[in-house]
A and B are shown apart, each in its own frame.
Chain A
C-alpha cells in the first residue's frame, strides 16, 4: 500500500509529458508565434534588435516553462515562501544597487539579461499567499493575526516597488495578492470597507503622487489637454486602433507604427500596433486566445486536489486577466497610462520570464493534479 502510493506519486517522464495540458500549451505557442510576428512588424518588417531578442527569449523561456512543469507541484509548494523571500531580497538589492533608467531604479544586470525583480514578485506573491491560505484553517482566515500576516506579505514588496518608482507593477502585485485573499475566504465586508476607505482616501493618495503621475491622470481625464505632450501617447494610440477598422490595415501596413507615431510600440503599446494591423477581428481573436488560456488555467485549478494548486491557478488566471485588462484599458483610453505589459506579446524579458514560470507551475499543477499536499 505504501509502496503503491509512492509509485503513484512518482510519475514517469513519459507520463508527465502525456499529462501536460496541450490546449494551454498550444495556446501559449500560438501566442508566442504571434508575438514574434508582431515584434517583426514593430521593427518595420525587418528582423532587427527587438525581433531577434524577443525570439531568443522565447526560445529560452519556453523550455524553462516545461522544465518548471516537470517539478512536482509539491516542490513549488514547499519552496513558495523561500522564493518569495528571495524576490524580496532582490527587490531590496535593486533599491540600492539597481540600474537606473529614465528616472527609475528597477533593474539588475545579470550579464546575459537585465532582470526586473518586481515582475517576478507578481508570481511570487501568488505562490506565497496560496501556500499561506492552503495551510491555514478556514476558521482562522479572518483572525487578526492572519489578516496582519497576509497584509504584510502584500504591503512589503509594494513598498519597494512603489519606491522604485513603478506604480503600474505595484498595482498589479497588489491586485494579484488581494485576489488570493478573496479566494482564500476573507470576509466580503472587509473588501467593501477597504474599497470605501480607498475611495475616501483617494484625494490624499493623489496628493502623494509624483507630478508625472498626476499629469497622467489629468491627461487620462482629458487627452486633448496637451495633444503633443502628455496626451500624445493616448491620442496616437486611439488613432491607431480606431483606424484599424474591421479588418485592420494589414500585416506590416500599420501606418501609425510604421511611421513612428506610436510611442512604446514594442512594450506597453504592442496591442495598439496589433489592433491597427489586424483590426477588430484580429483584436477579438487575440482576446479569445487569451480567454482560452485563462479558462484552461482556471480549469486546471478546478481539477486540482490540493488547495495550493487550486489557489495558485485561480490566482494566476486572475493575474493574467488583470494584466490584459489593465494594458488594454490603458491603450484604449479607459484607464490612465500606467506601465503594464501585455503578457507574452510585449517586449520585455522579466515579464516574459515571470509569465512563463507561472505557466510552468500551472502545467505542473496539471501533471500532478491528483497530488495531495499535507
Chain B
C-alpha cells in the first residue's frame, strides 16, 4: 500500500513537471516559428537578393567599336567578322594529343604551344583559351572539317576592328590593340567596360575618341554554382555599338596624297579655307594599322621601326621644319601692315648682303637686280626679304606670324602628339637661350631659317588664312553637331565675323588691319606660280578652274659651307640626310578660292622641283571633287 502510494505520488510529480516542460516546449516552438517568420517573410527580399547575387553572375563581352567614316560616309575604321579558335580544357580528353593535332593543322609555333599550356594552368578548366585570334577562312574550314577529332575545341566567330584602307589613314586614326594595365587604370570608361580580349585605341583619333567609340558591353547572365561554374544562361543583353564618328577627310584625296608621296618621307595637308575642314592629312611613309590588331610580329615591327623614313612619326603634326621661303608671304604681309614697305619699295639684289662683316646669300648667286615685292615673292629673292626683315624687326614679324597660327597647336587637344613649333622673338631668345637677339638672326628668320620651326599643318592653316582674305579659320577634322556650310562660313567671315560653333558666338576674327595688304600678298603668290620666272611656274595650271597660287620653300637642314656653295652639287650627289627639305604652300582656285594645302618632301631638294609638281597633280583632284563635297555637306549630322 505504501509502495503504491509512493508510486502515485511519483506519477503526480512526473505529470506536474511534464506540464511545465510542455509549456516550455510551446514557447520555444513559437520562438522558432517567429524566427522563421522574420527570415522568410520580413527579410525575404534581402535574402532573395543575396541568393540571386550568389547564383547569378554576369559575363561582359567586348563592346563593338563605333565606325569612323570619311566626309562621304565611307567606312575608314570599321568592324570585321573574324574567326577564332578556343579550347575549353575541361571538355578535352587528351590535351597533349589535341595540341599536336592543332599544331599540325594551324602551323602553331612552339612558343604559342607553351603559351597555351601556361594559360591552361592559370585558368579555370571551364574558361576558354584563345588558341588563335584570327583564323583565315581556309583554316576555319579545316578546323570545322576535323572537329569530330578535336573534342573540346570551339570555333568562334567574333568581331574585330578593321581598317579597309590599310595605311591611308594610319596617322589620323591610329590603331587599336590590347590595353596595358596603365591604360585600363587611366580611363574610367575602359576600366568599367574592360574584358579580356578587348582592344582599345592606342594612338590618334582611336585613342582620343575612345569614350565615344568604345560602345557598351553585351552582357550574358549565367547561373553559376558555388565554385563559379556556369550552369545555364539566363539572359543575353545586347550591347550598343559605339558612336559613329564622321571626319572631314576625303578618302580619294587622302589616297592620292599617299600615292604622290610614295617612297618619300613627307606630308601633305589640305584644308577648306572657310570651314577649316581638314580634307587630307597624310604623313609619309605610313604603315598598316591592321598589323597591330592581333599583335604585330617581331619582324614586321622591326621593319617599321627601323625604316629610315620614320613611318612611326606623324610628320604633319609633330614634324618640325624650317618653313624656308614659304614664310615670305607672312613677312611681306607683316611689313605691309606695319607700313615698313609698300608695293613700290625696291631692293637691289646682288646675290648677297653684307651685315657686320657677315655675308647673307641669296639663292641666286648672280642676284636678281632691282626687285619689288611682287618680283621678290615671285622669284623668292632672299636679299629682298633680308632687307624687309631688317627694317621690320623680328618682334613685329612674330606678332603677325603668331596671329596666323605659327607657334601654336592647330588642332588643339585632339592629337596629343601635335607640336607647337616656334616663332622666335627677342624676348623668347632672352628667356630661353639667355642671350640677346642678333640682327643677323632677324635676316634669316625673314627667309624662314634659324629658330623658326613649323609643322606642315601650321603652314597649311597659315596659307588658308591668307587665301580666305585674312580671317581666322578653325581647323577641324571631326564633323561636329552642327556643321557650318562653306557658304555660311564664307559669308560670316566676309562680314568680318566668325561663327564659333563651340561657344555659339560671333567672334571678330580679322587678322589684318588693311585687307588691301592681304590682296597684295595674294597677287604676289599668284605671280609666283602663274607668271614667267615664278619659282613654281612650271607647276602652274592655266585653266582658271584649277588655277592656283602658291609659294615654294627650300629649307636647309645644315649650314652650307663655302666650298659646297662653290661646288653647286646636283641633288643626287648630296647624301640623303644633307639634302634640303622641299616645301610648297598653295591655295586655289585663284578666283573664289576654296582650298589651301601644304606639301613637304623631306630631303626632296628644292621646293619648286620636288614639292610644287605634287600640288599641280593634287589640285586637279581637289577641285574636281569640290561639287561632290558641296552636295555632301548636308549629309546626316552626327553628334559627338
B39–A238 touching, CB < 8 Å:
yes
Interface string of A306-323 (1 = CB under 8 A from B): 010011001000100100
Cα of A314 to Cα of B25 in the assembled complex, Å: 12
Cα of A183 to Cα of B33 in the assembled complex, Å: 27
A246–B40 touching, CB < 8 Å:
yes
B39–A242 touching, CB < 8 Å:
yes
Partner of A255, one of B29, B39, B223: B223
Interface size on B, residues (CB 8 A): 38
Partner of A139, one of B6, B55, B231: B6
B51–A239 touching, CB < 8 Å:
yes
Cα of A137 to Cα of B231 in the assembled complex, Å: 66
Q: How far is the CB of B16 from chain A (nearest CB, A)?
A: 9
User: Counting CB contacts under 8 A, is B507 at the interface?
Assistant: no
A185–B14 touching, CB < 8 Å:
yes
Cα of A317 to Cα of B42 in the assembled complex, Å: 32
A246–B44 touching, CB < 8 Å:
yes
Q: Which residues of B contact A255 (CB under 8 A)?
A: 51, 54-55, 223
Q: How far is the CB of A360 from chain B (nearest CB, A)?
A: 21
Q: Which residues of B contact A298 (CB under 8 A)?
A: 18, 22
Partner of A275, one of B6, B22, B36, B227: B36
Partner of B28, one of A246, A314, A325: A325
A332–B35 touching, CB < 8 Å:
yes
Cα of A179 to Cα of B14 in the assembled complex, Å: 11
Q: How far is the CB of B413 from chain A (nearest CB, A)?
A: 46
Chain A residue nearest to B226 in the complex (CB): A260
Q: Which residues of B contact A279 (CB under 8 A)?
A: 40
User: Counting CB contacts under 8 A, is B225 at the interface?
Assistant: yes
User: Counting CB contacts under 8 A, is A340 at the interface?
Assistant: no
Cα of A307 to Cα of B14 in the assembled complex, Å: 8
Interface string of A238-255 (1 = CB under 8 A from B): 111111111000000001
Cα of A328 to Cα of B40 in the assembled complex, Å: 14
Cα of A321 to Cα of B28 in the assembled complex, Å: 10
Q: Which residues of A contact B366 (CB under 8 A)?
A: none
Cα of A346 to Cα of B567 in the assembled complex, Å: 107
Chain B residue nearest to A310 in the complex (CB): B14
User: Counting CB contacts under 8 A, is B15 at the interface?
Assistant: yes
Binding-face segment, A102-110, A148-156, A283-291: A283-291
User: Counting CB contacts under 8 A, is A192 at the interface?
Assistant: no
User: Counting CB contacts under 8 A, is A302 at the interface?
Assistant: yes
A138 touching B10 in the complex, CB below 8 Å, given contacts A243-B50, A255-B54, A280-B40: yes
User: Counting CB contacts under 8 A, is A22 at the interface?
Assistant: no
User: Counting CB contacts under 8 A, is A259 at the interface?
Assistant: yes
Q: Which residues of B contact A243 (CB under 8 A)?
A: 44, 47-48, 50-51
B226–A332 touching, CB < 8 Å:
no
A260–B225 touching, CB < 8 Å:
yes
Partner of B40, one of A236, A245, A302: A245
Partner of A318, one of B21, B51, B225: B21
A280–B41 touching, CB < 8 Å:
yes
Interface of B is mostly: helix
B225–A259 touching, CB < 8 Å:
yes
Please provide the chain B residues from 1 to 25 with a CB less than 8 Å away from any CB of chain A in the complex.
6-7, 9-11, 13-15, 17-18, 21-22, 25
Cα of A183 to Cα of B6 in the assembled complex, Å: 15
User: Counting CB contacts under 8 A, is B576 at the interface?
Assistant: no
A328 touching B18 in the complex, CB below 8 Å, given contacts A138-B10, A242-B40: no
Please provide the chain A residues from 3 to 41 with a CB less than 8 Å away from any CB of chain B in the complex.
none
Interface size on A, residues (CB 8 A): 46
User: Counting CB contacts under 8 A, is A358 at the interface?
Assistant: no
Partner of B6, one of A137, A238, A245: A137
Q: How far is the CB of A154 from chain B (nearest CB, A)?
A: 18
User: Counting CB contacts under 8 A, is B32 at the interface?
Assistant: yes
B11–A307 touching, CB < 8 Å:
yes
Please provide the chain A residues from 207 to 263 with a CB less than 8 Å away from any CB of chain B in the complex.
236, 238-246, 255-256, 259-261
Partner of B11, one of A260, A275, A310: A310
B51–A256 touching, CB < 8 Å:
yes
User: Counting CB contacts under 8 A, is B563 at the interface?
Assistant: no
Cα of A13 to Cα of B17 in the assembled complex, Å: 35
A284–B55 touching, CB < 8 Å:
no
Q: Which residues of A contact B18 (CB under 8 A)?
A: 183, 298, 301-302, 314
Cα of A162 to Cα of B46 in the assembled complex, Å: 39
User: Counting CB contacts under 8 A, is A60 at the interface?
Assistant: no
A242 touching B10 in the complex, CB below 8 Å, given contacts A255-B51, A302-B15, A328-B32: no
B25–A321 touching, CB < 8 Å:
yes
User: Counting CB contacts under 8 A, is A73 at the interface?
Assistant: no
Cα of A185 to Cα of B18 in the assembled complex, Å: 11
User: Counting CB contacts under 8 A, is B312 at the interface?
Assistant: no
B29–A287 touching, CB < 8 Å:
yes
Q: Which residues of A contact B22 (CB under 8 A)?
A: 298
Cα of A310 to Cα of B51 in the assembled complex, Å: 46
B224–A185 touching, CB < 8 Å:
no
A329–B44 touching, CB < 8 Å:
no
Q: Which residues of A contact B223 (CB under 8 A)?
A: 255, 259
User: Counting CB contacts under 8 A, is B37 at the interface?
Assistant: yes
Q: Which residues of A contact B55 (CB under 8 A)?
A: 255-256, 259, 261
Q: Which residues of B contact A291 (CB under 8 A)?
A: 29
User: Counting CB contacts under 8 A, is B183 at the interface?
Assistant: no
Q: 29 pairs across A/B with beta carbons < 8 Å?
A: A138-B13, A182-B21, A183-B14, A183-B18, A185-B13, A240-B51, A241-B36, A242-B44, A242-B47, A242-B50, A242-B51, A243-B51, A255-B55, A260-B226, A275-B36, A279-B40, A280-B41, A284-B36, A287-B32, A294-B25, A302-B15, A302-B18, A310-B11, A310-B14, A318-B25, A321-B25, A321-B28, A325-B28, A334-B32
Given contacts A246-B40, A325-B32, list 19 more A-B pairs with CB under 8 A.
A183-B13, A184-B13, A185-B10, A185-B14, A239-B47, A239-B51, A240-B47, A242-B48, A259-B223, A259-B225, A261-B55, A280-B41, A283-B40, A284-B33, A298-B18, A307-B7, A310-B14, A314-B21, A332-B39
The 9 A-B pairs of least Cβ separation, nearest first, read A242-B47, A243-B51, A260-B226, A259-B225, A280-B40, A243-B47, A185-B13, A242-B39, A245-B44
